[in-house]
Structure formats: C-alpha cells, structure tokens
Amino acid sequence: MPTFSSKMCAIAGIAIVFLCYGCQDQKGLPREALNPDASPSMELPGPSWENASVDVISAEVVGDSLRVVVGYGGGCGDHRFSLMTSGPAMKSLPPKQPVVVVHESTGDPCRALIQNEQMFDLSRYKLSPHGTTIVLLDSLILPYSYD
C-alpha cells in the first residue's frame, strides 16, 4: 500500500507537469501576438479595384498631355483612369506607340452614363530625337510633337 509521502510526490509531480505545459508558448500564433509590448495592427483592407469598361469619345494632344473624353456607366462609386501602353513602340519614322485608357472601379452599382475629361502625361513617350511620336489610341492617330 502506498504511503502518504509517495502520494504527495505523485501529486506534486503531476502539478509540475501541468505547470510546465501551461507556461509553454502558444503554438501557431505569430510572435507579435505573444509580445505584450507589440500593438496590434488595425489596418483595414482598402477598396478592391477592378477593370471596368470605358469608351473613348474623343482625344487630342495638348502640349505634353493627352486630353481624353471618356464615357462609362456608374454615378455613385469611385473610378480611376490611367494611360497604359498596349504593345511595344513600332519602329517607324516617326515611331508609333499604341496606348489604351484603363478604367478601374470599386463596383459602382449605378447606371448613369457619365462623360468626363481625363488628362494623361505623354512625356514618357518621347521616343524620337526628331521630336514626334504618333500615339495610337483605339482608332485615333494622334501626332505628339515635342522639343
């Protein structure tokens, strides 16, 4: 029959085992979660921008800018526009650069037909030492002259 002291030793041993496992790091948590001095990041994700359709109504070169009147559906959401190359510059005299207007929206549920003017910088398309690059936008041929 076990004595009182052997029962106490067994209980003490079990308590030590539980204490050791209870103080162990939480597995699977990032170290920042275990650091009481670290402040949690409360950044919320921004809006999700997705490609949306756009119509180029008119365009003209004004100095080093391309003025484009665009049409699109919407009216109650955020929209942004950018000018991107749609292929490599064509090796011709003068060089030709195909471009496209990119329209992004955060998911505008409205259906109004919107027209507005967008201005884009053309200075990165100075491709010729002769001072002219032809900008190809949709079916438009737009000469861009510079010094």
What pLDDT, in 10s, does the model give residues 30-77? Answer: 555 555 555 555 667 778 999 999 999 999 999 999 999 999 999 999
Domain ranges in the chain are 50-145
Task: Annotate 77-108 with b (16+ C-beta within 10 A) or e (fewer).
Answer: eebebebeeeeeeeeeebbbbbbbbebbbeeb
Encoding tokens for residue 26?
């939480």
Residue 71 pairs in a beta bridge with 55, 115
Alpha-carbon distance of 138 to 100, in angstroms, equals: 7
Domain 50-145 has CATH 3.40.50.740: no
Global pTM?
Answer: 0.68
